[in-house]
Structure formats: C-alpha cells, structure tokens
C-alpha cells in the first residue's frame, strides 16, 4: 500500500462516517461540526489529487465560510439543551429508501463509466494563471458570462437580505 | 554533505536521500513526516513559550514595570514554570456542557494554526511544503480556527462564553477580508502566490519598497487586520476581562486553556511571519538594487536570523498596539472594517494593478 492509498482510505473513511453522523446526530451543533470534518476531508482529497487551488478554496469557502455561517446562525437561535426529536418510522423508511436509491444510482453510474487512467507525477495539475485566465475569458471554455451572472445573483441576494433585515417604519 | 547555515537545501536533501536509501518508500515517507511534525511541534512550543515571556516583558516595559524577574535570569524561565503549573492543574469537568464539542474545540483551534505553520519558509531550503498557492493556503487554513472559538463559546453553556464567541466570530469573519485583500495587493505585484518565488522576487528590494505607496498602505492594513484576526488588543473584546471574565475560554482550565493561549500566540507568530515574508522579504537579506558591496555585506547574516528578526519586529509592533490603544467597542470595530479598511483596500488594489500594468514599480 502506498502512502497515497493510505491517505485516500483515511479521507474516505472520515467522509463516510461523518456524513452519516451529520444526518443522524440529534444535536444540531454537533451535526454542523461533523459537516465541517466532512468538508475538510474533501479538501484533503483534493490535495491528494494535487488540485491545490481547489483544495484551498474548499477549505476557505466551505470549511471556513459556510460552516462558520451555519454555526453562527445556530449560536443565535438554539440553546445547548435542545435536542431534535426522534423521527418516527414513517419518516425513517422513505428517507432511507431515497438515500439508498440515490446511492445505488450513483454507484452504478460510477462503476459503468470508463475513467481514462492518467498518471501525474509531482507538481501541481492546476495552474493559477490558467484558472484566472479562463475565469475572465469570453472565448471557448471561458467563464466570463457565468461569473457575471453569479455576481448578479449574489448582489440580488444581498439586497434581499438587507431589505428583510431592515426595520420597517410603522 | 556540505552543510551551511546560508542554504539548507543540500542538508534537507541529504536527509531525504538517507531515508529513501535505507528504508522502503512507504516508511521513508512516514519517518520523514514524523520528523517534520516533531520539529514543527517543538518549534511551536518553544516559540509559544518565548512569546508569552516577551509579551509580559514588553507589557512591563510599556507600563514602566520590571515584569517577571524571579525565575531564572531576567525571569526567563517564568513561562516554563507557568507551563508546568498548567500541565499539573485539574481539568474541570463541566456538568451541563456539551462535553464532546467542549473537548474538541481547543484542538480545532490549535490544529488550524499548526497546519498554517507548515507552509511558512523559515530559511532557504527550510520549508516543510512549498505550495504554488502558499499564501492562499495559509489564509484558508487559518480561517478554520474561528470554528474552534465558536464551538468553545457555545458548548461551555455560559453566557459570557457565548457573547465572547459571537463577538470573536463577527470580528474574525469580517477582518479576514482585509487580511486577504491586502495580501492580494502584493500578489498582484509579485505575480505569484508561492512563498519561495515571492521571497526570490525580493532579492533586489523588498515588496514594501518596490510597490511604492500602495504596498505601504497594504502593509498598514494588514497589520491592523491581522491584529484583529488574532483577537488581540485593541481588538480583544472577545475576551474583554472587565466585562466577559475571559470570553470564550472562561470555562476552560489546565492544559485545555493553555491550548487556546498557545494558539493565540502562534496565530500572532504566523501572521507576523506572513507579513515578514510577503512585505519585508522573508529570509531575504536587506538588499538595495545596484549596491553590490552593501548587498554582499548583508548576505553574511544568515537567512534564518533575518527571518526571525523581521518576524519579531512585527510581533513587537503588535504588542505595542495592544498595550497602548484602548479597546474598541463592537460597533467601532465593525465600522473600522467595513467603512474604512475595506474600501481603502479595494481602491488600493486598483492602484496597485495600474502601477503594475504601467510598469512603474521597480
């Protein structure tokens, strides 16, 4: 077993175990913490694939940004003694069936797909200059339009949030 | 093996070769990682202890006192005595706390700072991992620490801890922006995010001088924002002693408290060494383009000494901030970030991009 395979096994185990714990935990902040572990392990997986830039973005945005936001909102709204109700059998069975069906479909697709084998030795696979250029390029494989569309979406979301949070005069 | 204190590359490569020649590849990797981990851990502990001592001495100096002076010469072993005391203290069990999160929180904080230290270049060739996205990696990893603080505050089940954690969260999340953007200014100038390439790029002058005024503004903004990000005074309202007893770590005792304490100092060290590397040339000696004789004399001082000297200079500035400015209120803190630092930063990036585009920098 090579060190890479060992790390892959560790990261996959962390991702699987903590994903299950995230959805089964009855304490909401613990669930958020488990989600953090899943996202950090996913970042580790990207490092293993030498997608350094993607890994750092995963850590900064998901682990450092979104999870912090989730924890922040839990901190503001929930009390430490609160526990989520135990779901009844009526909820567990459909949820389990949906999850199992989704897992089956994706596993079947992955097994059927023929991944082209590619061995990359050393170095980084993604070049930041390349990413930056394709992000603002308007040519083929350029992301200028999606980038701008997402900015408009974010702007709309921010304006909406401010209007919702603003005190009304009456 | 030719070993020199000016270039560690041959030394580290010699160790690497020695391990791979004598061990199977798998164990060579394991042993190498263990050695690096232990060295970093040792460095971490020693620097942490020294910084606590330095803080007390600097504070005493600012307040016209003597500071620790009983244990060892000039009180130098005071922090070691403190460490022994903390190690032997009882770990108080909190009955109504969320014990899992309560126990995990200090480790999240300390792991985040421990991961960041791996990417910092200490001297030529003395660099655990040289990512091509070095700066981004350090920023990304150090942003994880805030999760530990928030968890610590909430799981203590104590109103002071919770308020402290909320304040600290709001503060770190907003000031992270300024830290990142001020570094982006220099990334534009350097044209790279790799620490080693950045340091090499400062061989004929540090970026703070090469980038004219925008680089200097970025340096000032970085100093302010990084002081805030480490939760240090004058931005220490997360643990304001007079109002919140001790903020998010009120309920922690013994070595778990020491973890938070150590992580705070190490975060200060990490941010100071980023500032030293990005703005002041890291381990690169003070060079002036064209002055060959002067540059040659400066080269005689080993890179490690340059690195430590610059880092401690910035740490000293941060301590100076802490002991001379009064604490900000939360609204003043957020106004400073969102209404002043952020707009200044954004305009600064534009100016820097314009300067680089016109080729006005050195």
Q: Where along chain A do its domains lie? A: 3-126, 127-170
Give the gap in angstroms from C-alpha B107 to the nearest C-alpha of chain A: 13
> Which B residues, 58 through 87, put their C-beta within 8 Å of a C-beta on chain A?
none
- What does the pLDDT read at residue A97? 93
- What does the pLDDT read at residue A122? 55
In sequence order, what DSSP letters do the residues of A83-96 get, joined into one string?
Answer: -PPPPPHHHHHHHH
Average pLDDT value for chain A: 84
Residue A13 has pLDDT above 90, yes or no: yes
Residue with the larger pLDDT of the pair A38 and A2 = A38
Structural domain boundaries in chain B:
9-358
- What does the pLDDT read at residue A153? 94
Percent of chain A at pLDDT above 70? 94
Highest mean pLDDT (candidates A116-125, B51-60, B234-243, B326-335): B51-60
- What does the pLDDT read at residue B4? 67
Tell me which chain B residue has its CA closest to the CA of residue A36.
B147
- In this predicted structure, which of A103-107, B123-127, B280-284 has the lowest mean pLDDT? B123-127
Residue A152 has pLDDT above 90, yes or no: yes
Residue B3 has pLDDT above 70, yes or no: no
pLDDT band with cut points at 50, 70 and 90 for residue A121: low
- What does the pLDDT read at residue A105? 94
Residue with the larger pLDDT of the pair B229 and B244 = B229
**Which residues in chain A have their CB less than 8 angstroms from residue B153's CB?**
75
- What does the pLDDT read at residue B211? 76
The predicted model gives B276-291 an average pLDDT of: 79
- What does the pLDDT read at residue A119? 66
- What does the pLDDT read at residue A77? 82
The predicted model gives B259-269 an average pLDDT of: 86
CB contact under 8 A, A80 and B98: yes
- What does the pLDDT read at residue B149? 85
Percent of chain A at pLDDT above 90? 25
Give the gap in angstroms from C-alpha A92 to the nearest C-alpha of chain B: 26
Question: Does residue B169 belong to the interface with chain A, where contact is any CB pair within 8 Å?
Answer: yes
Give the gap in angstroms from C-alpha B349 to the nearest C-alpha of chain A: 16
- What does the pLDDT read at residue A131? 80
- What does the pLDDT read at residue A107? 92
Residue B2 has pLDDT above 80, yes or no: no
- What does the pLDDT read at residue A10? 92
Percent of chain B at pLDDT above 90? 2
Residue among B144, B157, B166 minimizing CB distance to A63:
B144
- What does the pLDDT read at residue B296? 77
- What does the pLDDT read at residue A125? 58
Number of Cβ atoms within 10 Å of the Cβ of A28: 15
- What does the pLDDT read at residue A106? 93
The predicted model gives B164-177 an average pLDDT of: 83
Residue B331 has pLDDT above 80, yes or no: yes
- What does the pLDDT read at residue B67? 81
pTM: 0.85
Counted across chains A and B, CB pairs separated by less than 8 A come out at: 92
Residue among B98, B139, B150 minimizing CB distance to A72:
B150
- pLDDT, tens digit, 9 for 90 and up, residues B47-80: 888 888 888 888 888 888 888 888 878 888 888 8
- What does the pLDDT read at residue B324? 87
Question: Does residue A128 belong to the interface with chain B, where contact is any CB pair within 8 Å?
Answer: yes
Residue B218 has pLDDT above 70, yes or no: yes
Rounded-to-integer distance, Cα B128 and Cα B120, Å: 8
- What does the pLDDT read at residue B33? 85
Fold of A3-126: 1.20.120
- What does the pLDDT read at residue B5? 67
CB contact under 8 A, A56 and B132: no
> Which B residues, 214 through 273, put their C-beta within 8 Å of a C-beta on chain A?
none
Residue B66, both tokens: 């003597």
CB contact under 8 A, A52 and B137: yes
- pLDDT, tens digit, 9 for 90 and up, residues A37-63: 999 999 999 888 888 888 888 888 888
Question: Does residue A103 belong to the interface with chain B, where contact is any CB pair within 8 Å?
Answer: no
In the numeric block, the tokens 């909430």 are attached to B154
> Which B residues, 133 through 152, put their C-beta within 8 Å of a C-beta on chain A?
133, 136-137, 139-141, 143-144, 146-147, 150-151
pLDDT band with cut points at 50, 70 and 90 for residue B209: confident
- pLDDT, tens digit, 9 for 90 and up, residues A73-86: 888 887 777 777 78
Cα B345–chain centre separation: 21
pLDDT band with cut points at 50, 70 and 90 for residue B36: confident
Peptide bond into B173 cis (omega under 30): no
Rounded-to-integer distance, Cα B192 and Cα A129, Å: 9
- pLDDT, tens digit, 9 for 90 and up, residues B128-151: 788 888 888 888 888 888 888 888
pLDDT band with cut points at 50, 70 and 90 for residue A126: low
- pLDDT, tens digit, 9 for 90 and up, residues B91-100: 777 777 777 8
Tell me which chain A residue has its CA closest to the CA of residue B174.
A65
């Amino acid at each position: 077993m090579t060190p890479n395979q060992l790390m892959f096994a560790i990261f996959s185990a962390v991702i699987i175990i903590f994903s299950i714990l995230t959805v089964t935990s009855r304490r909401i902040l613990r669930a958020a913490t488990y989600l953090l572990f899943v996202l950090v392990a996913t970042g580790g997986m990207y490092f293993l694939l030498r997608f350094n830039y993607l890994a750092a973005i995963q850590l900064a945005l998901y682990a450092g940004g979104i999870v912090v936001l989730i924890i922040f909102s839990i901190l503001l709204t929930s009390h430490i003694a609160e526990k989520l109700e135990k779901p009844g059998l009526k909820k567990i069975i459909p949820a389990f069936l949906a999850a199992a069906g989704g897992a089956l479909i994706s596993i079947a697709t992955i097994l059927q797909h023929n991944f082209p084998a590619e061995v990359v030795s050393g170095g980084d696979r993604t070049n930041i200059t390349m990413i930056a250029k394709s992000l603002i390029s308007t040519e083929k494989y350029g992301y200028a339009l999606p980038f701008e569309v997402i900015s408009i979406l974010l702007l709309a979301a921010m304006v909406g949030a401010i209007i919702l949070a603003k005190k009304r005069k009456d | 093996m030719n070993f020199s204190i000016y270039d560690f590359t041959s030394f580290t490569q010699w160790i690497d070769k020695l391990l791979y020649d004598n061990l199977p590849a798998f164990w060579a990797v394991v042993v190498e990682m263990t050695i690096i981990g232990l060295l970093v851990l040792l460095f971490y502990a020693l620097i942490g202890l020294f910084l606590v001592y330095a803080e007390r001495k600097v504070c005493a100096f600012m307040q016209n006192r003597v500071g620790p002076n009983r244990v060892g010469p000039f009180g130098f072993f005071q922090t070691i005595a403190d460490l022994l005391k903390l190690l032997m203290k009882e770990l108080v069990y909190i009955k109504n706390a969320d014990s899992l999160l309560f126990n995990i929180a200090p480790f999240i904080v300390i792991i985040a700072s421990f991961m960041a230290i791996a990417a910092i270049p200490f001297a030529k060739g003395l660099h655990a991992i040289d990512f091509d996205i070095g700066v981004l990696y350090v920023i990304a990893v150090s942003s994880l620490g805030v999760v530990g603080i928030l968890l610590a505050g909430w799981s203590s089940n104590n109103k002071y801890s919770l308020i402290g954690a909320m304040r600290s969260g709001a503060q770190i999340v907003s000031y992270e922006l300024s830290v990142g953007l001020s570094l982006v200014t220099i990334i534009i100038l350097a044209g790279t995010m790799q620490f080693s390439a950045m340091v090499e790029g400062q061989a004929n002058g540090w970026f703070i001088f090469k980038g004219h005024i925008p680089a200097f503004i970025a340096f000032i903004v970085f100093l302010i924002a990084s002081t805030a990000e480490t939760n240090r005074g004058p931005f220490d309202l997360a643990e304001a002693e007079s109002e919140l007893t001790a903020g998010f770590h009120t309920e922690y005792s013994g070595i778990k408290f020491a973890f938070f304490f150590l992580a705070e100092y190490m975060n200060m060290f990490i941010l100071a060494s980023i500032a030293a590397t990005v703005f002041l040339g890291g381990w690169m000696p003070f060079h002036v383009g064209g002055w060959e004789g002067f540059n040659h004399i400066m080269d005689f001082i080993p890179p490690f000494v340059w690195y430590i000297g610059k880092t401690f200079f910035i740490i000293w500035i941060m301590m100076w901030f802490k002991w001379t400015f009064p604490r900000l209120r939360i609204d003043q803190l957020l106004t400073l970030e969102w209404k002043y630092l952020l707009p200044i930063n954004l305009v600064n990036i534009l100016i820097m991009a314009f300067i680089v585009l016109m080729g006005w920098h050195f």
